[in-house]
Chains A and B, each alone.
Chain A
């Protein structure tokens, strides 16, 4: 059987089960709404523009935050990757910072910037920066010494060695870093928006919770899941595979 058909069947069965539980009336409608209601809510949300506004706001936060975290993370990563001194001094703290769940930064951001968009962007930046920095650091550390030796015999040295060999050689890990930064930022974004005063998908979610709109809650969760999967599969997976192949890091 084709993979696409298997996947389609699976989702149909799951929706069937869901509808079955809904029809059995074990739970009231506001706890288990019908999938049809959820679908309806999504359509109305898009048609009336509420969801589009929220989506637009979320993407704005994400793009600003992710760009900043890639920029800052790369800068930090290059410093730690190139300077043994800096790495020994601060490298360990970076790992510690990276392991802090991004929602932990939300109270700090709210106290610093209030409940507005700035706080959300701050959380997104913090969410992506450290993982980006760590990946750029290992990207630089994993440049094959063989490339550097070969380049030196061809009269490349100093800064030229850095930008003609080290940067291109570390691109596969750099892209992995961006992919991870995106994943971390996306999670951080939802946490930040959930506790903010909107707009954004996360805010819409908390709004729906306040009004006990399970159909909206599930609908927004579906949107969040679909966006995550689509961006990861269509953008980053493909990009990473192509680069890995070119760089000879893929065995196929």
Chain B
């Protein structure tokens, strides 16, 4: 298997509240070239799980393997796009994209490579610009180009379009689909939007909460490009929605019972 998560668990140990289990027993096998979404309500630990794949968070239990190799630290085989803007403002667009290439390529090759990937996200015209001159959507496209330029085995995306407006989000969905068709990267995509997950993914892994665990795993076999009104799309969205409603109600109930305790 390409990317394998086995019995993965995460527990945070705070100094005051004691141990807090985010999730446990996460088993997940992901095939190469697949677009997989991890979907769940806030607090289910989906972003933490992604950060663990990136090597930014430690594992409390279990193990993760990418092409048979144990994951225990960040590495250039896993590129990541964050929700928060994470481009470096002291570098221009091109320098941001060449940032990870310093040790891999000569300066000229790195620049050429950066240009290629900036072309892919249609921003080569802006390569001399600084981040404050770019819109949120453009910044995320640069971040995608930067992650892809390292030629990672997996592209990890943590709610990358969560902070963007609806219009921009749809444009970037189409752009991401085009990039994925072109590069055939394995993509692990974290989101809380059912629509986004169904529209983009080959497979949607649904996580529940308190404690976090995988509660469903759908293969979405609707031909692309997918339209919002397609009956199959609506069918999947409804199915996942009813599943998540149970989870969200569970959280609400727990919070209410805490408020009403005596």
Residues of A within 8 A of B (CB): 146-147, 149-156, 164-165, 168-169, 171, 245-248
Question: Are B131 and A248 in touch, CB under 8 angstroms?
Answer: yes
A155 to B99 Cα, complex, angstroms: 10
With a cutoff of 8 Å between Cβ atoms, the chain A residues found around residue B76 in the complex are 154-155
* 11 further contact pairs, Cβ within 8 A, besides A146-B86, A246-B130: A150-B82, A153-B55, A153-B80, A153-B147, A153-B156, A155-B100, A168-B88, A168-B90, A169-B88, A247-B132, A248-B89
Question: Are B78 and A153 in touch, CB under 8 angstroms?
Answer: yes
Verify if B56 is at the interface (C-beta below 8 Å from A): yes
Verify if B125 is at the interface (C-beta below 8 Å from A): no
A154 to B147 Cα, complex, angstroms: 8
Min CB–CB distance A45 → chain B (angstroms): 45
CB contacts under 8 Å to A, within B63-112, are 74-76, 78-80, 82, 84-86, 88-91, 99-100, 103
Verify if B150 is at the interface (C-beta below 8 Å from A): yes
Question: Are A246 and B89 in touch, CB under 8 angstroms?
Answer: yes
A164 to B79 Cα, complex, angstroms: 18
Question: Are A245 and B132 in touch, CB under 8 angstroms?
Answer: yes
Closest to B103 in A: A155
Min CB–CB distance B227 → chain A (angstroms): 34
Quick one: which of A152, A154, A171 has the most chain B CB within 10 A?
Answer: A154
Verify if B200 is at the interface (C-beta below 8 Å from A): no
Question: Are A150 and B90 in touch, CB under 8 angstroms?
Answer: no
Kindly identify which residue among B100, B132, B147 contacts A248, using a CB–CB cutoff of 8 Å.
Answer: B132
Which 9 interchain pairs have the tightest Cβ spacing? Answer: A154-B100, A150-B86, A168-B90, A153-B80, A152-B74, A248-B132, A155-B76, A247-B89, A248-B89
Residues of B within 8 A of A (CB): 51, 54-56, 74-76, 78-80, 82, 84-86, 88-91, 99-100, 103, 130-132, 146-147, 150, 156
**Could you list 27 examples of A-B contacts with CB < 8 Å?**
A146-B82, A146-B85, A149-B56, A150-B80, A150-B86, A151-B99, A152-B56, A153-B74, A153-B78, A153-B79, A153-B80, A154-B76, A154-B99, A154-B150, A155-B76, A155-B103, A165-B88, A168-B88, A169-B90, A245-B132, A246-B90, A246-B130, A246-B132, A247-B90, A247-B132, A248-B131, A248-B132
Question: Are A153 and B54 in touch, CB under 8 angstroms?
Answer: yes
Question: Are B90 and A146 in touch, CB under 8 angstroms?
Answer: no
A146 to B51 Cα, complex, angstroms: 12
A153 to B146 Cα, complex, angstroms: 11
Closest to A152 in B: B74
With a cutoff of 8 Å between Cβ atoms, the chain B residues found around residue A245 in the complex are 132
A168 to B89 Cα, complex, angstroms: 9
With a cutoff of 8 Å between Cβ atoms, the chain B residues found around residue A152 in the complex are 55-56, 74
Closest to B56 in A: A149
With a cutoff of 8 Å between Cβ atoms, the chain B residues found around residue A146 in the complex are 82, 84-86
With a cutoff of 8 Å between Cβ atoms, the chain A residues found around residue B132 in the complex are 245-248
Closest to A167 in B: B90
A168 to B76 Cα, complex, angstroms: 22
With a cutoff of 8 Å between Cβ atoms, the chain B residues found around residue A246 in the complex are 89-90, 130, 132
Question: Are B56 and A155 in touch, CB under 8 angstroms?
Answer: no
With a cutoff of 8 Å between Cβ atoms, the chain B residues found around residue A248 in the complex are 89, 131-132
Min CB–CB distance A149 → chain B (angstroms): 6
A99 to B90 Cα, complex, angstroms: 33
Closest to B91 in A: A168
Closest to B156 in A: A153
A153 to B51 Cα, complex, angstroms: 10
Q: Would A147 and B75 be within 8 Å (CB), given that A152-B56, A248-B132 are in contact?
A: no
Question: Are A171 and B82 in touch, CB under 8 angstroms?
Answer: no
Question: Are A149 and B82 in touch, CB under 8 angstroms?
Answer: yes
With a cutoff of 8 Å between Cβ atoms, the chain A residues found around residue B147 in the complex are 153
A82 to B20 Cα, complex, angstroms: 29
With a cutoff of 8 Å between Cβ atoms, the chain B residues found around residue A171 in the complex are 90
With a cutoff of 8 Å between Cβ atoms, the chain A residues found around residue B90 in the complex are 168-169, 171, 246-247
Question: Are A147 and B86 in touch, CB under 8 angstroms?
Answer: yes
A41 to B62 Cα, complex, angstroms: 83
With a cutoff of 8 Å between Cβ atoms, the chain B residues found around residue A149 in the complex are 51, 56, 82, 86
With a cutoff of 8 Å between Cβ atoms, the chain A residues found around residue B99 in the complex are 151, 154, 156, 164
A165 to B89 Cα, complex, angstroms: 10
Closest to B146 in A: A154
With a cutoff of 8 Å between Cβ atoms, the chain A residues found around residue B74 in the complex are 152-153, 155
Closest to B57 in A: A149
